[in-house]
Structure 1
């Protein structure tokens, strides 16, 4: 089946979602998150794109960015995805795809849409049960770049200018966004990733998703049977 052409943004601004291949983890430990941010920072400097918001979740990444006329969105993510996949595969002694083959991109055409997506991205950890509300503990998002004096990886000036004051930024995040506020691929409800990882470690000797993938099909099926029984307790 032929792929549909990506919708182009007149503002060159996009909300991008990158998922792990076959719903696998993109990040196994803190060093993986750090490496991904280092890669983002490197190519942000090299290719001159701006990042208005980001959130790294265990099996997917959200980015809100604007690219210049000199480089395409496709080129940016070809560099980022290839560099991280090569590093990840070498670290975990694995082969094959790390990211899902085709990332999702949504054009952002207005200031209101941009602010809506900023809030949506920052609420991802809260919706996954990883923190109570944005800024209350999750470290792999751009939220804290907006609330401290040094912006870090995030280009905060545009959003703060649209909101007039930092207080308005905090007020914007006091109301959780609707799940239907964006036309975006929905992820199936499931138990939190950290809980899933604990369950797998309890019923087998695997320390990571990569170790689990190396098991035989029979061993994996046995583990998944017990995992499904445990996961049912969460009502997901």
Structure 2
């Protein structure tokens, strides 16, 4: 079955995940993290991509980005991936691939899901049992969004800015979002949409994306629904 084209639309946030091949480590020491972030900033500026949130885990990365062009994210990830693989292979005297195939991504409904995805990203080290709270993990945008550390890589999204009139108020309101755990249903929804590269959002948002992109935003019904009226309508509209 042919792969559906990747959903890349300007000015719509994307949750991007890139994993190490066979779950191998992609960051070994402090310099590795700093090199990755430095080049992420360089290529984000070069290709007009705004970075809102990130976490660098030991064997994968999560990014929340908004491209200003249709191919900005793809160019960013390609250039960053190539540079970092060369750096990593040279540093650790290895050869071959580092990343697991293509990066995964999903378009994010700004109104309903932006802050949820930002929390999801910054809570990764907590869910992995690496730290007890996001402030204790170094390689995360939480230090900027919640604690006010200046990370020049980041661009604050309008949704984040709407949390308060001052930076202190925004940070306090952002920290308050972390008091409650993300529901299991929401975790599953984010994970599935990202890994299968569908769209994360409301029904109206998904319809809007389908109109702009000309491709499906959600999977077709499974076998048991093939005779349903909904399935027939979707087939007729393909």
Tell me if TM exceeds 0.5: yes
- Asked if 1:15 corresponds to 2:2, the answer is no
Q: Select between 102-111 and 63-72 the one with higher mean Cα deviation.
A: 63-72
SS in 2 for 1:42: helix
Matching residue within 190, 194, 200 for 1:183: 190
Mark the CA change 1:71 to 1:4 in structure 2 (over 3 Å): closer, same or farther. closer
Q: Tell me, in whole angstroms, the C-alpha distance in 2 between the residues paired with 1:38 and 1:47.
A: 15
> Which 5+ residue runs of structure 2 have no aligned equivalent?
165-169, 194-238
Counterpart position of 1:57: 57
Per-residue CA deviations over 1:52-81 (Å, capped at 9, x if unaligned) read 100000011000000112743211111110
Q: Tell me, in whole angstroms, the C-alpha distance in 2 between the residues paired with 1:141 and 1:87.
A: 21
Per-residue CA deviations over 1:9-60 (Å, capped at 9, x if unaligned) read 4643100000001111111111111111111111122222101100000011
Q: Tell me, in whole angstroms, the C-alpha distance in 1 between the residues paired with 2:6 and 2:71.
A: 16
Runs of 4+ in 1 over 6 A off after TM superposition: none
1:10/1:109 contact within 8 Å kept: no
- Asked if 1:166 corresponds to 2:171, the answer is yes
Q: Tell me, in whole angstroms, the C-alpha distance in 2 between the residues paired with 1:170 and 1:130.
A: 19
Q: Tell me, in whole angstroms, the C-alpha distance in 2 between the residues paired with 1:151 and 1:116.
A: 21
Q: Tell me, in whole angstroms, the C-alpha distance in 2 between the residues paired with 1:92 and 1:38.
A: 19
Q: Tell me, in whole angstroms, the C-alpha distance in 2 between the residues paired with 1:148 and 1:61.
A: 22
Q: Tell me, in whole angstroms, the C-alpha distance in 1 between the residues paired with 2:66 and 2:47.
A: 11
> Within 5 Å, which residues of 2 pair with 1:39-54?
39-54=39-54
Q: Tell me, in whole angstroms, the C-alpha distance in 1 between the residues paired with 2:71 and 2:183.
A: 33
Counterpart position of 2:140: 141
* Count of matched residue pairs: 185
> Which 5+ residue runs of structure 1 have no aligned equivalent?
187-236
Per-residue CA deviations over 1:137-193 (Å, capped at 9, x if unaligned) read 11000000122252432212534323223221010111121343133259xxxxxxx
Q: Tell me, in whole angstroms, the C-alpha distance in 2 between the residues paired with 1:28 and 1:70.
A: 33
Counterpart position of 2:235: none
1:123/1:176 contact within 8 Å kept: no
1:54/1:141 contact within 8 Å kept: yes
State the TM-score, normalizing by the size of structure 2: 0.72
Q: Tell me, in whole angstroms, the C-alpha distance in 1 between the residues paired with 2:74 and 2:157.
A: 25
Q: Tell me, in whole angstroms, the C-alpha distance in 2 between the residues paired with 1:127 and 1:35.
A: 25
SS in 2 for 1:184: helix
> Within 5 Å, which residues of 2 pair with 1:1-236?
1-9=1-9, 11-69=11-69, 71-135=71-135, 137-146=136-145, 147-148=147-148, 150-164=150-164, 165-181=170-186, 182-184=189-191
